[in-house]
Every structure is written in structure tokens, then in C-alpha cells.
Amino acid sequence: SQQGEEDPQALSIQEGENATMNCSYKTSINNLQWYRQNSGRGLVHLILIRSNEREKHSGRLRVTLDTSKKSSSLLITASRAADTASYFCATAKRSNDYKLSFGAGTTVTVRA
């Protein structure tokens, strides 16, 4: 079974617009990570946010974490065609836990 659930399942936006996707999880966590996957290939690590953090930025990415609601959001600003991919959230229960639990992902299509 998968710990995280992403919402929406699919998202289509125009280039330059912002894309927001959400992730909900079920049990307490140490950290939550977001990954990108292009066309069924390998995953690329985007950002990690720890349970004691509320917001984190990396370039055009902004991640929030609300542990009281067991949810996280990923915002991609000023989207580009190259952002077209599937995005997954993954949770870890302990600080040195490599057994990541992934959600089913959000497929983002950026139209030129």
C-alpha cells in the first residue's frame, strides 16, 4: 500500500502559469520528499522537507508541509515545457530511513 496520495492525478497548464499539486499521507513522518519522473524513466530528487519545517524553496519550487493535516504541497512557478513530467511525493518515517513510501503521482503537462 502507498503512504502518500497526490492530488490532482493530472494537471494541464499553459507555459508560464503556476502548477500546484498536493500530497496527503497517513502516518507520522520524519521527512517528505518530492521527485520528478520523465516518461517512465528514473526519478530525480527535487526537494526534501523535514517534519519540523513548514516551507522550503528551491529555485522555482516551493514546498509546504502541514504535519497537523498530514499534507504537503508542491508549487512550480512560471512553468516551462521541460517541467512536463510526473511528480511524486515520498515519505520517510525516520531520519535515516531509506524505505521511502511513494504516492501514485501527479502527471503535469505544460502546453507551449
CB of 110 to other proteins, least distance (A): 20
As a whole number of angstroms, the distance between CA 71 and CA 25 comes to 6
Q: Please, which residue, 18 or 38, has the CB nearer to other proteins?
A: 38
Tell me which residues in 22-51 interact with other proteins (CB under 8 A).
Answer: 30-31, 35, 40-45, 48
Nearer CB in complex with other proteins: 15/22 = 22
Burial of 61 (0-12, 13-18, 19+ CB in 10 A): middle
Residue entry with cell 512550480: 76
Q: Which of residues 56-85 bind other proteins (CB under 8 A)?
A: none
Q: Given the complex with other proteins, which of 29 and 110 has the nearer CB atom?
A: 29
Cell numbers given for 107: 502527471
Phi, psi of 83 (to 5 degrees): -80, -5
In the bound complex, what is the minimum distance in angstroms from residue 75's beta carbon to other proteins?
20
Number of residues that this document lists for the chain: 112
Q: How far is the CB of 22 from other proteins (least distance, A)?
A: 15
Between 79 and 86, CB nearer to other proteins: 86
CB count within 10 Å of CB 39 equals 7
Please tell me the number of Cα atoms within 13 Å of 23 on its side-chain side.
30
Q: Is 13 in the site for other proteins (CB under 8 A)?
A: no
